[in-house]
Amino acid sequence: MLDIPLLVRVHLDALMAAQIDMGVCDAIEQNRPVGKPTAMSAPHLPKVAGIDPAVPPPAHTSAPLPTAAVTATTAPGALIQDRLAGWVSDLTTLHELTERLSRTTTLDASLNELLRAGAGLVGARRGLVVLEPADGLGPAVTTGLGLAHADLGHIETVPRSATGYGRILDGLPDADGGSELVGAAGERGPDPRHREVAARLGYAASYALPLTTDAGGRLGAAVWLYDEPAEPDERRRHLIGLYLRQAAEHVARLLELDRARTRLATVTEELLPSRLPRVARVQLAARHRTGPRGGGDWYDALPLPEGALGLAVGSVTGSGPSAVAAMGRLRASLRAYAVMEGEDPVAVLSDLELLLRLTEPARSATALFAYCEPAQGKIVLAGAGHAPPLIVGERRTEFVETSLSAPLGMLACWEAPSVEIHPAAGETVLLYTDGLLHRTGEAMDRAFARLHAAAASVPKTARDDPDAVADHVLRTVLPDGLDASDGTEDVVLLAARFA
């Protein structure tokens, strides 16, 4: 081990193994000092990748200093120490960048971080990454750095065979990536569209690399754009190659997670009504969003004999595929019970309680079932541990007073009295799950107050349309929208307007 001050003490064998691809072993052998190396107070060579990510990268890469000139003016021992210090700086930078990337939890966030870190490593200012997995299962995503949405659109009009990243995505024989000049001197072929787009966006060169993994193959390609004719030097190319090797594995894991969430959301949507029924004197609208973990919130609307209508909402405990499957079974069972004895909501929920207790004793659920007779303007409903409906009209906005009851599966036998309400013509009844309240991030009493205020503020011009009522309530209660990244709860909102 070299006698180097503690601040930069590095095991020489480990560094040589880490940097063997950079061709430095021979240099160390040729310049091995006889005695102890001098202190590390000699001038250092310029560092390729700075350790301060806050410093903006240069617009292009300057040429490295000639090795012969450095050797002539620097003692052999000092040269080795400077190179060791440079390697430590580079490895530290890579460690910091990969740590920052590993903290990203979504696919979009990881691609943005990859672009920012890569721009600093290759000395570029702008770039884009195109995710296009070779297995064809998607998703196809394009993310830009320093490029507006319109700029990305212009780049997509360039034939893929005329760009380095396009050849990578198409798997062409020369698709190894690398530097590419856009001007006439560096063109691969007469493609005026590429020159036109480059002139419009103001870039003169690019550096493209594939995004691949050992197990999954090609995921996509990344390209960084230079404002002037330039290309990264050998050390920058080595660093970005090491970084992309780690970044591709992280992106592949997030890609699989994103696919799993998409499949789960698709299954959940398929278990819910594909369309709402048409019943005389009633207009229906529904909004549903599954959380990232996949939950068991559901809704239903089914026509019943003699012009009646059954409305139901519910929530199964837990998350993930098992909760989704349990939700599907519970909803299907409630539909059967509603057809047989829907005019008695208490009997419907009692049967559902017995089924849940016998078939899934470790699971509980909340549910609300309403038997509607639109011709008589009458609704009979019963709830099991569920939030009360909300009536929205021109003259009133109030919660329905339902009797308190435990959720399904919490008692040996469930039974609670039903409630009868009479919505006036033009009034809308809102049924919802508690995920809507939980997503506000407030205590339940404040969440209920917020929901009431949102329903009361529905404009008069929107009260004739249940879709408009539902959208207004959601926008007011959840200003960040249903797709907020921190929204882990399922949301269900079912609106029924009576004429």
Cα 49 to Cα 243: distance, rounded to the nearest angstrom:
12
Question: Residue 65 above 50 pLDDT?
Answer: no
Question: Residue 112 above 90 pLDDT?
Answer: yes
pLDDT tens-digit series, residues 301-357: 999 999 999 999 999 988 888 888 889 999 999 999 999 999 999 999 999 998 998
With bands split at pLDDT 50, 70 and 90, how would you rate the model's confidence at 6? Answer: very low
The reply to whether 212 and 83 lie within a common domain is no
Higher pLDDT, 479 or 122: 122
Q: Are strands 378-384 and 308-319 parallel, antiparallel or unpaired?
A: unpaired
> What pLDDT is recorded for position 174?
64
Give domain status of residue 111, yes or no: no
Q: Backbone phi, then psi, for 229, in 5-degree steps?
A: -60, 115
Q: What angle do CA 470, 471, 473 make, to 5 degrees?
A: 65
> Rounded mean pLDDT of 80-94?
83
Cα distance between the two ends of the chain: 87
Give domain status of residue 108, yes or no: no
The reply to whether 94 and 135 lie within a common domain is no
Coarse DSSP helix, strand, coil percentages of the chain, rounded to the nearest 5 percent: 40, 20, 35
What is the gyration radius of the CA atoms in the chain, in angstroms? Answer: 32
The reply to whether 254 and 278 lie within a common domain is no
Domain boundary residue, one of 263, 289, 316: 263
Q: What CATH number should be reported for the domain holding residue 255? A: 3.30.450.40
Residue span of the structural domain in which 140 resides: 123-263
The reply to whether 282 and 252 lie within a common domain is no
For 485, counting Cβ atoms within 10 Å of its Cβ (0-12 exposed, 13-18 middle, 19+ buried), the class is exposed
Q: What angle do CA 46, 207, 172 make, to 5 degrees?
A: 145
With bands split at pLDDT 50, 70 and 90, how would you rate the model's confidence at 19? Answer: very low
Cα 40 to Cα 338: distance, rounded to the nearest angstrom:
83
DSSP assignment letter at 60: S
Nearest to residue 255, comparing CAs of 104, 103, 139, 129?
139
Number of domains in the chain: 3
The reply to whether 239 and 342 lie within a common domain is no
Tokens matching residue 92? 């530290």
Cα dihedral 76→82→84→88 (10° resolution): 180
Give domain status of residue 113, yes or no: no
3-state class of 362 per DSSP?
coil
Q: What CATH number should be reported for the domain holding residue 289? A: 3.60.40.10
Q: Name the average pLDDT for the chain.
A: 82
